[in-house]
C-alpha cells in the first residue's frame, strides 16, 4: 500500500489511531491492551494496525523509526505521533486536547 492509497482510505473516517508495530516487538504487544482500552473510550475513534515488516514503505513515508509508533489521524491528516510505550492516560489526554482544538 502506498501513502496516497493509505491516506485515501483514512479520508472517509473520523479519528483513527494507526499502530505501526512488528510481531517481534515486545513493547508493541504491550500497547495492544492499552490501545484497546483507548478505543473503547471514544465512539468516533477506530484503530488500524500496520505491520512495518510488511509495509516498510508506508512506515518510512510517515517517518516511523522506532516502535511502537502510533499516529492519530483525522480525515486522512496526521495530527500527532506517539513513540514508544505510552500510557492510556497520555493517549486519551492528547486525543481530547486535539478534538477540543487545544
**Annotated catalytic sites, by residue?**
25, 28
DSSP string, the chain: --HHHHHHHHHTSSEEEEEEE-TT-HHHHHHHHHHHHHHHT-TTEEEEEEETTT-HHHHHHTT--SSSEEEEEETTEEEEEEESS--HHHHHHHHHHHHTT-
Amino acid at each position: 500500500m502506498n501513502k496516497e492509497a493509505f491516506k485515501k482510505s483514512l479520508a472517509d473516517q473520523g479519528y483513527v489511531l494507526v499502530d505501526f508495530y512488528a510481531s517481534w516487538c515486545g513493547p508493541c504487544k504491550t500497547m495492544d491492551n492499552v490501545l484497546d482500552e483507548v478505543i473503547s473510550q471514544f465512539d468516533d475513534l477506530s484503530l488500524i494496525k500496520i505491520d512495518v515488516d510488511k509495509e516498510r514503505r508506508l512506515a518510512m513515508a510517515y517517518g516511523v523509526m522506532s516502535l511502537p509508533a502510533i499516529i492519530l489521524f483525522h480525515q486522512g491528516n496526521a495530527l500527532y505521533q506517539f513513540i514508544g510505550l505510552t500510557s492510556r492516560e497520555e493517549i486519551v489526554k492528547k486525543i481530547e486536547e486535539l478534538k477540543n482544538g487545544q
